[in-house]
Amino acid sequence: LSTTIDIFVGKETAKYIDIVSEWRIKLFREYPYLYVGDIEYEKKYMQGHATDKQAMIAIAKVDGMLAGFSTGFPLISDSEIVADVKKLVSQAGDDIADYYYYGEIMVLPEFRGRGLASMLYTAQDNLIKSWEFKHVCISTVVQEENHPLKPAGYKSTEGMFEHMGFVKNKLMINYPWPTIQHDQSIKEVNHQLACWTKSLME
């Protein structure tokens, strides 16, 4: 099987906005996010990428089929998603202009476990290093361990991010979204998120 990774930057991201928005809604509906997405909100959020010269969507294809993607933008952007991440970085005494934020990474279930996520991040790391960013950050949601909607055999992504060289910040941030409850009803929940950073300097 042949795998390709391509990165689309700024306006070039426009052609992937619809598909990425659909995938976000589908995959984030699952544990640990349990997010009930709205397609119009999603598209608006993704359109923000097309207006930022240094925002990106990295696309993984296997034999020409879309298999995964990863997004990102400079932390300095005014996206509401990163407002608390910025505060955290500033409080630590760092310059937010040195940080790039990876928004979400997704690989379709049938293509997982064969290195696509690592390949996406490596390609993104190389590009943002060439733009002279010094650090990259991500966030992960903290969810109840014993949630009834947690699939059997679910493996947290924390091990993967540690393996990839990210370090978890001691302080947490918060972000609210409509969340599926134990009884399948939907409620706005202010979630706790862990913030992870990785240095791009060798």
Ligand X SMILES: CC(C)(COP(=O)(O)OP(=O)(O)OC[C@H]1O[C@@H](n2cnc3c(N)ncnc32)[C@H](O)[C@@H]1OP(=O)(O)O)[C@@H](O)C(=O)NCCC(=O)NCCS
- Least distance (Å) from ligand X to the CB of residue 152? 16
Identify the CA nearest to 166 among candidates 129, 126, 194, 128. 194
3-state SS assignment for residue 191: strand
Q: Does 34 bind ligand X (CB under 6 A)?
A: no
Residues ≥6 apart with Cβ < 8 Å to 173: 84, 85, 87, 88, 139, 192, 193, 195
Q: In what order do the strands lie in the sheet with 167-180?
A: 3-9, 56-62, 65-74, 99-107, 135-142, 186-199, 167-180
Amino acid sitting at position 197: T
Q: Does 94 bind ligand X (CB under 6 A)?
A: no
Site string for ligand X, 136-165 (x = CB under 6 A): -------------------x-x-xx--xx-
Site string for ligand X, 102-141 (x = CB under 6 A): --xxxx----xxxxxxx-----------------------
- Least distance (Å) from ligand X to the CB of residue 81? 12
- Least distance (Å) from ligand X to the CB of residue 123? 12
- Where does this chain bind ligand X (CB under 6 A)? 27, 104-107, 112-118, 155, 157, 159-160, 163-164
